[in-house]
């Protein structure tokens, strides 16, 4: 039976992974007191004692704006720790799945990014994630880096939960219409990861970087519109929702600059492993009724 080490079980993707990976083997999911990504010793000791056949790293620093002021911690968690994990994995020939982000790109393209496109992050979060990708690749083991995009779930903070809250609290909401991406339910990342790990032999034959997002893409305004339409239906509450209005990123500055376009071309993972993801809008429709506020 394979032993799987899951890091980040309290996060959006990690929480879903704990459920999805459980049937695949002996799942060990330490919290940050048991495996602290800021400490090389803690990482090495945990891996040594657990002796995993597979490591899934869903831990990291994910608050994009906070990474500007806390860039050292972001770099430690996202840039340095993945390299140490990859070294540990390479030493014991364990398979590593590591999540990265489409925020490694500068967003100046207007067609979906492929794995061949050159990263050029525009903020500290993207720079830290790119450093992590490079450290994982440099370790030379059997690692898959899955570049994820706009993740949402029913926990922590994310765009969908923020929209639902704000849309009830305000009469008008201005949402940027010039940031394009593929909203992806954390549950779908977890299920896709489990599907991939069900065939570890195949994964070992084709390590590397893969784009993995929901099919198709939209603007943040279109995403918010879909969320609120779904919430109206699901809750049965037709009134008292904010009117959603378009704005631009230039008029709505954040501490961290955002890449405008981060849609991904997912053909590489489809060709390599037959992996396809559902469409973003269908999954938003499926997600909303799962919320307990209904």
Annotated active-site positions, please? 125
Distances (CA, A) of 38 to 24, 67, 135: 28, 15, 15
Q: Which of 156, 168, 174, 232 binds ligand NAP (CB under 6 A)?
A: 156
Q: Is residue 71 close enough to count as binding ligand NAP by CB under 6 A?
A: no
Taking CB under 6 A as the rule, does residue 150 contact ligand NAP?
yes
- Is 280 one of the binding residues for ligand NAP (CB under 6 A)? no
**Of 153 and 177, which has the nearer Cβ to ligand NAP?**
153
The H-or-E segment that residue 152 falls in is: strand 151-152
Sole window of 33-41, 114-122, 196-204, 243-251 interacting with ligand NAP (rule: CB under 6 A): 33-41
Nearer to ligand NAP, 101 or 266 (CB): 101
Binding of residue 181 to ligand NAP (CB under 6 A): no
Residue 127 and residue 290: Cα distance in Å, rounded?
34
Cβ closest to ligand NAP, residue 193 vs residue 241: 193
Rounded to whole angstroms, the Cα distance separating 292 from 294 reads 5
- The secondary structure of residue 116, as a DSSP letter, is T
Map the footprint of ligand NAP across residues 78-107, applying CB under 6 A: 99, 101
For the record, the structure tokens of 255 come out as: 């501490």
The answer to whether 174 contacts ligand NAP (rule: CB under 6 A) is no
Identify which range of 6-14, 169-177, 271-279, 284-292 contacts ligand NAP by CB under 6 A. 6-14
Q: Return all residues near 207 (Cβ < 8 A) that are at least 6 apart.
A: 141, 142, 143, 144
Interaction of residue 14 with ligand NAP, rule CB under 6 A: yes
H helix intervals, the chain:
12-21, 40-50, 66-69, 71-74, 81-92, 124-139, 159-169, 186-197, 200-205, 220-235, 267-273, 280-287
Judged by CB under 6 A, the residue of 75, 131, 151, 244 near ligand NAP is 151
The torsion of the CA quartet 234, 235, 239, 244, rounded to 10 degrees, works out to -50
Residues of the shown chain interacting with ligand NAP in the complex, contacts defined by CB under 6 A: 8-14, 32, 35-38, 58-60, 62, 77, 99, 101, 129, 148-151, 156, 186
């Amino acid at each position: 039976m394979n032993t799987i080490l899951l890091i980040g079980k309290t996060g959006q993707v990690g929480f879903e992974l704990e459920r999805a990976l459980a049937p695949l083997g002996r799942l060990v999911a330490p919290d940050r007191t048991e495996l602290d990504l800021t400490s090389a010793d803690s990482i090495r000791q945990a891996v040594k004692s657990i002796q995993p056949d597979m490591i899934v790293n869903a831990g990291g620093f994910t608050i994009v704006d906070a990474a500007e002021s806390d860039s050292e911690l972001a770099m430690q968690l996202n840039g340095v720790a993945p390299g140490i994990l990859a070294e540990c994995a390479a030493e014991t020939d364990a398979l590593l799945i590591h999540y990265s982000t489409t925020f490694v790109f500068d967003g100046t393209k207007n067609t979906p990014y492929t794995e061949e496109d050159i990263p050029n992050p525009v903020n500290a979060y993207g720079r830290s994630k790119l450093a992590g990708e490079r450290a994982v690749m440099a370790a030379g083991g059997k690692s898959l880096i899955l570049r994820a995009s706009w993740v949402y779930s029913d926990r922590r903070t994310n765009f969908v939960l923020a929209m639902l809250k704000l849309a009830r609290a305000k009469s008008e909401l201005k949402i940027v219409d010039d940031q394009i991406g593929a909203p992806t339910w954390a549950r779908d990342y977890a299920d896709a990861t489990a599907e991939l790990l069900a065939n570890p032999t195949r994964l070992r034959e084709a390590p590397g970087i893969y784009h993995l997002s929901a099919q198709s893409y939209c603007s943040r305004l279109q995403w918010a519109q879909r969320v609120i339409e779904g919430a109206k239906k699901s809750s049965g509450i037709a009134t008292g929702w904010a009117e959603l209005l378009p704005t631009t990123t230039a008029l709505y500055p954040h501490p961290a600059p955002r890449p405008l376009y981060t849609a991904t071309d997912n053909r590489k993972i489809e060709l390599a492993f037959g992996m396809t993801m559902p469409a973003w809008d269908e999954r938003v429709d499926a997600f909303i009724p799962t919320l307990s506020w209904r």
